[in-house]
């Protein structure tokens, strides 16, 4: 699993949580900037624009490496997603992502309906390797795309402070691989980032590959056994959503961290900065 996947979780969910502070009627657009570091070294920046209207959502996300990382890899990427926020899990309708490096470029386009993949195109196709676990039709049912997976509703029948909100499994299909991200409660602690100050639920995260991955690849084995991944969830007062304000993932070359920095909401008539001051009960 690429460490930017968990970064996607932080960025998209932060968009939903911040947006919840605005009036629910009409369309609002969140515009946000983020910092990404690896082993304490600035790696690049990301930006997110998310528009919500009623139960419908659309997202546009872009990440760009900077400095030495950009010189070595030329890395950058962009993704979009759309769907509806219905029930305990988003219902995506479309997802697309393009990633570029100095050596190659890949585009994925996917359509979904009722949690099932209806169409998918990967260009160029993923290379065939002896250790690649074959995808089955069942691997494309009951799934969410990597961006839509990031919307974190409060658990049914629970309050935002309940540790049960950490206990969830994200069934992700990215167009080429099927995997779960399994979250579990770690602790409750105080946190202060660029856009939030208060108590957070700290969720531990585990990566569980199912299909489409290369089983013998060292990076796959590393991430499968990786126990050093965490997501900090903060509540938005009066709303049924939780916001990841920090995500940390141990990689083979050091700790990758994505932290929210600034947020603003464009409601058509005005732009409002978001500061996030909700707290959890002890």
Contact 28, 6 (CB under 8 A): no
DSSP string, 65-92: E-HHHHHHH--EEEEEEEEE--TTS-EE
Q: Which residue shows structure tokens 């993704």?
A: 79
Judged by average pLDDT, the poorest of 163-167, 198-202, 231-235 is: 231-235
pTM of the model: 0.81
Check residue 160 and give its pLDDT.
Answer: 82
For residue 41, name the pLDDT band (cuts at 50, 70, 90). confident
pLDDT tens digits along 81-126: 999 877 778 899 999 998 876 567 889 999 999 999 999 999 999 8
Mean pLDDT of the chain: 78
- 262 pLDDT higher than 80: no
Summarize the confidence of residues 221-229 as an average pLDDT.
94
Phi, psi of 224 (to 5 degrees): -65, -35
Identify whether the C-beta of residue 143 lies closer than 8 Å to the C-beta of residue 114.
no
pLDDT of residue 152: 79
**Strand, helix or coil for residue 213:** coil
178, β-bridge pairs:
173, 211
Domain residue extents for the chain? 4-264
């Amino acid at each position: 699993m690429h460490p930017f996947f968990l970064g996607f979780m932080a960025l998209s969910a932060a968009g939903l949580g911040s947006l919840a502070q605005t009036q629910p009627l009409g369309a609002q657009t969140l515009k946000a900037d983020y910092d990404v570091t690896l082993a304490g070294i600035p790696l690049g920046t990301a930006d997110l624009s998310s528009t919500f209207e009623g139960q419908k959502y659309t997202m546009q996300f872009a990440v760009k490496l900077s400095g030495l990382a950009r010189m070595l890899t030329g890395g950058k990427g962009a993704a979009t997603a759309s769907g509806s926020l219905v029930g305990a899990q988003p219902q995506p309708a479309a997802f697309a992502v393009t990633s570029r490096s100095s050596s190659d470029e890949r585009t994925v386009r996917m359509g979904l309906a009722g949690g099932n993949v209806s169409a998918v195109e990967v260009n160029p196709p993923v290379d065939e390797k002896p250790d690649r676990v074959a995808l089955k039709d069942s691997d494309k049912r009951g799934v969410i795309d990597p961006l839509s997976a990031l919307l974190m509703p409060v658990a049914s029948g629970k309050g935002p402070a309940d540790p049960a909100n950490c206990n969830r499994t994200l069934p992700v299909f990215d167009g080429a691989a099927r995997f779960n991200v399994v979250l579990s409660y770690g602790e409750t602690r105080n946190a202060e980032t660029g856009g939030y100050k208060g108590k957070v639920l700290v969720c531990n995260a585990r990566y569980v590959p199912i299909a489409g991955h290369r089983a013998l690849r060292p990076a796959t084995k590393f991430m499968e056994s990786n126990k050093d991944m965490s997501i900090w969830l903060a509540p938005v007062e009066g709303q049924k959503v939780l916001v990841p304000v920090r995500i940390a993932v141990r990689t083979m070359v050091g700790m990758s961290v994505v932290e929210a920095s600034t947020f603003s909401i464009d409601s058509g008539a005005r732009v409002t900065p978001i500061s996030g001051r909700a707290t959890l009960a002890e």
